[in-house]
Structure 1
Amino acid sequence: MTMQTNIDDSTAGEEEARISTRVVMQQPSLAKYRVPVFRELAGRDGIDFELLYGDLDGIPNVAAEGFRSELVPLGQYRVLGTELLWHTAQGSAVSRKRADVAILVWNVRYLSLVPALLKAKFSGVKTILWGHAYSKQESPVRKFIRQRVAQLADALLFYNQQAATQFRSEGWPEERMFVALNSLDQAPIIKAKAHWAAQPEQLEEFRLQHGLAEGPVLLYVSRFDPANRADLLIAATAQLQKEFPSLRVVLIGKENEERRRLEELVRQAGLEQHVQFPGAIYDEQLVAPWFLSADAFCYPANIGLSLLHAMGYGLPVVTGDDIASHNPEIEALQDGVNGLLFQHGSVDSLTDSLSRIFSEPELRHSMSINAEKTIAEKFNLETMVDGMAAAVRYCRSLAD
C-alpha cells in the first residue's frame, strides 16, 4: 500500500509538472514592494513563474526571493521631450521555448511592445497586458493608441475596478478583462503592529518623547513632491491649531527641495511647535509607532499605495476629491466610511474634514475599523494575485 501511494504521488507530481503553465512576466524594474507579489504568484499551484526585469532610472532593483528572475537592460530614450523605452525582455517573454503565457507592461511608450505582441501571435504564446489602462495626461490620441495595442493581447489586467468598468462600458469583452487590485504586502505592517502592541510602555514613551501624547496627531508619509500638495496641509494646520492647540502634524520623507520649501512655509507661519519633519524612515518597525500614534493620515493629492499603508494601521485617510488626480489605489477610499474627501485644492474644505475627524471620536473609531476591514477583505496581496492567476488560467484555456 505504501509503495502504491508513492507511485501515485510521483505520477501526480509528474502530471502537475507537465501541465504547469509557464508564465513569464516583464517589468521595468524589480522594486522591493513587488517582490512579495511575484513570490505569491510563483507559489500558486499550476504556475511556473519567471520574471524578466529592467533597470529603470529612479527605481532601485532588489534581489528576487522565491522566484526565478533575470535582469535584462532597459533602453531609455528621450525624443522631442517624450521618454520612450525599448525592452528586449518583451520579445524574450513571448518565446514559445520559454513561455505559455506572457504578462507584459501595458505602456505604449514601450516601442518594443507591439513587435512582442505580434511575435506572440505568431509563436502561439498567450499575452496579458497589465497596467493602469489610462493616463493622468490623457488625450484622444494616447487613448486610441493604447486601445489599439490592447486589441493585440489575449487578456487585459487592470489595477482597479474603475478602469475595467470603463473598458466594459466601451464594449470590450467581459471574459478578456481581469482586475488585480494594486496592493501592498501587509505582513510587515501586521508584524510591526504586534511588536508595539506587546510593549505599550515603550509606545507611550515614544509618544512622550516626540510630543505626541496629547494630540491630535496628523500623519503624512511619502516622498515630498509638489504634486502631493503637502502645502495645503501646512495651510490647514495654521487654522486647525486654533481649535486644537496640542495638534501635531508629522511629515515623514526624504529631504529634498520640496521638503525645504515646506519647512520654510512652516517657519513663515510660525508653526514650528506643531509641525515636525523626522526625515525618511524605511524600516517598518521604526515607522510603525508614528502610525500607531496618529489619529488620521492626510495626503492632499496624488495619493497611491500610501493610502493602503495607512489603512493597514487602521488610520482614516483624508485626501482631495479630484479622483482623476490620484493613482489607482484611490478606489480603496470610501468617503465617510474609511476616510474623507475634501474639495480639491481648498484649504477650508481640508480644514473642515480634519476638524471633523478630530472632534468626532465615534466617527474616527468607525473609520478606523472600516479601514482595516478594507485591507483585510479586498486590498491585499492574496486578492491581487487572485486576479493575476485568473487571467493566466483564462489564457491557458485558450491554448487547450
Structure 2
Amino acid sequence: PVKRLPWLLHAIHLVVQQGRSVHLALVGDGSERPMLTSLAVELGLTRFVHFLGATYDESRLGLVLSASDLAVVPSGAGLSVMHALGYGTPVLLHDKVEEHFPEWEAVKEGETGWFYRYDDLSDCAEKVIDALFPISCKPAMATACRSVIRSRYNTSTHADLFVKSIAQHCVFPARGVTTPGHSDSAVPCGPLEDSGSVKEGR
C-alpha cells in the first residue's frame, strides 16, 4: 500500500515495547481501515492508535497537528510536510529521498525534523523515541518549522521564482526601441531584480 500505514503501526509497536507511551492519530478513511483496526488489536495497540476518520475541515486538521508532537510520513512525502511544519510540528521521514516529492527538502535534520533509514523499523522507532523522550523536541523546534514555511514555501516566494524564471528565459517587447520598419522590437529581458518592472505589493 502506498501510505505504508501497517508498517507505521509495527514501528509504533516497537516504541511501545520499549515501555514508551505514545499515541498515534490517523486522519483519513478508506479500504485499509478494517485491516489497520485489526492489526492494532493484534499488536496490542488499541490504547495507543486512534482512528479519527476522514476530515477536510482545516480547523480540525489544525487542532490535530497543533496537538501533535511529531508527524511521521512512512511513504513518499509531499504537501503533508508543509501542512505539519506550518503548525510548528516537526516531521519524521525516511531517507530514500528519491521517493519523496520536492517538499521533503524543508525537513532539516535536527532543525525541522529527522530522517530514519528506509524500511528500518528499529531506526524509525528510535527516532520517534528521540523526538519525544525524555521531553518532546517540538517546543524547541516549532519556531524553525513555521519559519521555513513563511520564508521559503509560500505563494509570494513561489510567484517570485516563477516570474524570475520567465524573465531569464523569455523575450518581451521593448517599448520605445525602434528598428527599421518596426515600432517595437523584441529584446532579451534580464533577471527581474534588475529590470524594476515588477514590485511586490506591500
Q: TM-score, normalised by structure 1?
A: 0.41
Q: Which residue of 2 aligns with 1:264?
A: 38
Aligned residue among 52, 59, 78 for 1:304: 78
- For residues 283 and 396 of structure 1, the distance between their equivalents in structure 2, rounded to whole angstroms, comes to 44
User: Structure 1 residue 352: deviation in Å?
Assistant: 0.3
User: Structure 1 residue 347: deviation in Å?
Assistant: 0.8
Structure 2 residue 154 is the aligned partner of structure 1 residue 387: no
Q: What is the CA deviation profile of residues 181-217 of structure 1, one whole-angstrom value per residue up to 9, with x for unaligned ones?
A: xxxxxxxxxxxxxxxxxxxxxxxxxxxxxxxxxxxxx
Q: Which residue of 1 aligns with 2:20?
A: 244
- Alpha carbons of 1:361 and 1:381: their partners in 2 closer, same or farther (altered >3 Å)? farther
Contact 2:88 2:138 in 1 (8 A): no
User: Structure 1 residue 397: deviation in Å?
Assistant: 4.2
User: Structure 1 residue 355: deviation in Å?
Assistant: 0.1
Q: Which residue of 1 aligns with 2:7?
A: 232
- For residues 300 and 323 of structure 1, the distance between their equivalents in structure 2, rounded to whole angstroms, comes to 12
User: Structure 1 residue 380: deviation in Å?
Assistant: 1.3
Secondary structure of the 1:251 match is strand
- For residues 263 and 384 of structure 1, the distance between their equivalents in structure 2, rounded to whole angstroms, comes to 40
Letter in 2 for 1:244: R
Aligned residue among 371, 377, 382 for 2:145: 371
User: Structure 1 residue 387: deviation in Å?
Assistant: 1.1
User: Structure 1 residue 362: deviation in Å?
Assistant: 6.9
Q: Which residue of 1 aligns with 2:190?
A: none
User: Structure 1 residue 320: deviation in Å?
Assistant: 0.4
Secondary structure of the 2:119 match is coil
Letter in 2 for 1:343: R
Contact 2:85 2:145 in 1 (8 A): yes
- For residues 360 and 310 of structure 1, the distance between their equivalents in structure 2, rounded to whole angstroms, comes to 22
Q: TM-score, normalised by structure 2?
A: 0.79
Q: What is the CA deviation profile of residues 158-201 of structure 1, one whole-angstrom value per residue up to 9, with x for unaligned ones?
A: xxxxxxxxxxxxxxxxxxxxxxxxxxxxxxxxxxxxxxxxxxxx
- For residues 362 and 250 of structure 1, the distance between their equivalents in structure 2, rounded to whole angstroms, comes to 17
Contact 1:307 1:329 in 2 (8 A): yes
Q: Which residue of 2 aligns with 1:96?
A: none
Write the mapping of 1:285-324 to structure 2, written as runs, cut at 5 A: 285-324=59-98
User: Structure 1 residue 392: deviation in Å?
Assistant: 2.8
Q: What is the CA deviation profile of residues 286-326 of structure 1, one whole-angstrom value per residue up to 9, with x for unaligned ones?
A: 22111111111001120101000000000010010000111
Structure 2 residue 126 is the aligned partner of structure 1 residue 352: yes
- Aligned-pair identity in percent equals 27
Secondary structure of the 2:52 match is coil
Q: Which residue of 1 aligns with 2:48?
A: 274
- Alpha carbons of 1:274 and 1:339: their partners in 2 closer, same or farther (altered >3 Å)? same
Secondary structure of the 1:257 match is coil
Write the mapping of 1:123-202 to structure 2, written as runs, cut at 5 A: none
User: Structure 1 residue 244: deviation in Å?
Assistant: 2.3
Secondary structure of the 1:319 match is strand
Aligned residues: 173
In structure 2, list runs of 5 or more residues that go unmatched: 174-185, 188-202
- For residues 317 and 350 of structure 1, the distance between their equivalents in structure 2, rounded to whole angstroms, comes to 12
User: Structure 1 residue 360: deviation in Å?
Assistant: 4.8
Letter in 1 for 2:122: D
Secondary structure of the 2:32 match is helix
- For residues 292 and 349 of structure 1, the distance between their equivalents in structure 2, rounded to whole angstroms, comes to 25
